């Protein structure tokens, strides 16, 4: 229990920080946000005289300069980005959503999923117009395809591509870190990306909207019973969960709920033992699976068929609740405020009467019986 009390205190501190930032953003001239040094988890934005210095998820320092301006001393050519960026390749759907949140979806020219994997209208339209190209799987991109798109910038989780893109003169920013993103960083990441596109005011406005949703969540769930929650999955050879330092875990704590892996620390989708998963699962009341319905999460019984071990956890019983993400959930970072509210509504349905799920689906105990059509 000591660990959970610690997480609860951390959650309160996070709330105070976020709400304090929200209040600061609401004062002064919103159209001209104050320029100052800003830490965003492992990321930072530091306005200098004539350029902006940013630190990415790999700890690299990049200089953002106005188009045609002289590059500052101390930066290799590949670490200098002319802004606003006009053409970008993005590895993750998360960054694609952030571009939409900033109002610059038209800058996207390359992605690592083919058209048929995308549910976003703006991306599908970009493919149809010939502006967006598939540049290969994120684990094995085609550098010739990237080069053919003439990007000003590549946003990636993979630092190993940097030497190759350096050699062809394409700047890279690493948008992930070795540990899971906390709630504050997840919400404020838009403010890290905004300077690349000259959209600082839009980035602050989006953060304000998300922070306001978090404030409402805190108010609605105050004093409610605290359900026991787990988030992860058992696969054939691995058991993966969201650690206690991940943004979803912190949100669960802020929404007056107990996250059962809050003592686990590390990267998102971190591996744990099967025994630990089953042990926590026997206490859980609500379970979020990683699997979408298309990947087999159609009912509790279907999950148990995929791996009988998971049948031992309490949420798969008749009184438990199990939720699966819908296919567009991972492509909706521009709707983060709505996602936060929906997770809170799942945890505390009594606080959100009539809420209709948009990003998750609650799994029935068994799959619906299919009735054969008569000839």
What share of the chain in percent tops pLDDT 90? 86
Q: Which pLDDT score, from 0 to 100, does residue 212 have?
A: 98
Q: What is the pLDDT of residue 35?
A: 54
- Tell me what pLDDT residue 29 has: 35
Pair of tokens at residue 18:
């976020």
**The predicted structure's pLDDT at residue 14:** 47
The residues, ordered by sequence, that sit 6+ positions from 33 with a Cβ below 8 Å of its Cβ are 25, 200, 201, 204
For the record, the structure tokens of 48 come out as 């200098």
The encoded tokens of residue 173 equal 């920013």
Over the chain (375 residues), what is each successive 10-residue block's mean pLDDT? 40 46 34 67 96 98 97 95 98 98 98 98 98 97 98 98 96 97 97 98 98 97 97 94 98 97 96 97 98 96 93 95 97 98 98 97 88 55
Judge contact between 132 and 126, C-beta under 8 A: yes
Rounded distance, CA 179 to CA 330, Å?
Answer: 19
Alpha carbons 173 and 132: distance in angstroms, whole number: 19
Q: What is the 3-state secondary structure (H, E, C) of the chain?
A: CHHHHHHHHHHHHHHHHHHHHHHHHHCCCCCCCCCCCEEECCEEEEECCCCEEEECCCCCEEEEEECCCCCCCCCCHHHEEEECCCCEEECCHHHHHHHHHCCCHHHEEEECCCHHHCCCHHHHHHHHCCCCEECCCCCCCCHHHHHHCCCCEEEECCHHHHHHHHHCCCCEEECCCCCCCCHHHHHHHHHHHHHHHCCHHHHHHHHHHHHHHHHHHHHHHCCCCCCEEEEEEECCCCEEECCCCCHHHHHHHHCCCEECCCCCCCCCCEECCHHHHHHHHCCCCEEEECCCHHHCCCCHHHHHHHCHHHHHCHHHCCCCEEEEECCCHHHCHHHHHHHHHHHHHHHCHHHCCCCCCCCEEECCCCCCCCCCCCC
* Cα distances (angstroms) measured from residue 39 to each of 12, 26, 47, 179: 19, 19, 12, 16
Domains, the chain: 2-65+79-197 (3.40.50.1980), 224-362 (3.40.50.1980)
């Amino acid at each position: 229990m000591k660990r959970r009390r610690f997480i609860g205190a951390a959650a309160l501190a996070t709330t105070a920080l976020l709400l304090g930032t929200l209040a600061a953003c609401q004062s002064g001239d919103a159209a001209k946000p104050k320029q100052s040094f800003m830490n965003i988890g492992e990321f930072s934005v530091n306005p200098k005289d004539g350029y902006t210095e940013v630190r990415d998820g790999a700890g690299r320092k990049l200089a953002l300069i106005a188009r045609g301006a002289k590059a500052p001393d101390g930066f290799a050519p590949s670490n200098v980005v002319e802004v606003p960026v006009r053409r970008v390749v993005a590895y993750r759907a998360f960054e694609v959503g952030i571009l939409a949140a900033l109002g610059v979806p038209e800058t996207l020219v390359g992605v690592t999923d083919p058209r048929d994997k995308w549910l976003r209208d703006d991306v599908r339209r970009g493919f149809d117009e010939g502006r967006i190209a598939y540049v290969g799987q994120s684990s094995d991109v085609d550098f010739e395809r990237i080069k053919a798109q003439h990007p000003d910038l590549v946003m990636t989780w993979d630092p190993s591509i940097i030497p190759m893109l350096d050699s062809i003169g394409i700047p890279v920013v690493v948008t992930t870190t070795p540990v899971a993103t906390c709630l504050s960083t997840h919400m404020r990441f838009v403010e890290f990306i905004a300077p690349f596109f000259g959209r600082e005011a839009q980035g602050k406005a989006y953060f304000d909207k998300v922070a306001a949703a978090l404030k409402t969540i805190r108010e609605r769930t105050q004093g409610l019973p605290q359900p026991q929650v787990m988030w992860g999955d058992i696969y054939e050879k691995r058991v993966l969960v969201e650690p206690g330092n991940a943004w979803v875990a912190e949100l669960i704590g802020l929404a007056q709920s107990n996250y059962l892996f809050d003592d686990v620390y590390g990267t998102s989708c971190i591996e744990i033992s099967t025994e630990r998963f089953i042990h926590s699962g026997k206490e859980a009341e609500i379970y979020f699976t990683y699997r979408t319905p298309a990947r087999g999460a159609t009912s509790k019984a279907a999950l148990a068929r995929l791996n009988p071990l998971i049948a031992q956890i309490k949420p798969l019983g008749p009184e438990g609740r199990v939720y699966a993400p819908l296919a567009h959930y991972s492509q909706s970072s521009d709707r983060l405020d709505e996602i936060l509210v929906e997770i809170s509504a799942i945890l505390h349905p009594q606080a959100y009467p009539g809420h209709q799920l948009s990003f998750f689906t609650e799994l029935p105990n068994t799959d619906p019986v299919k009735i054969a059509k008569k000839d």
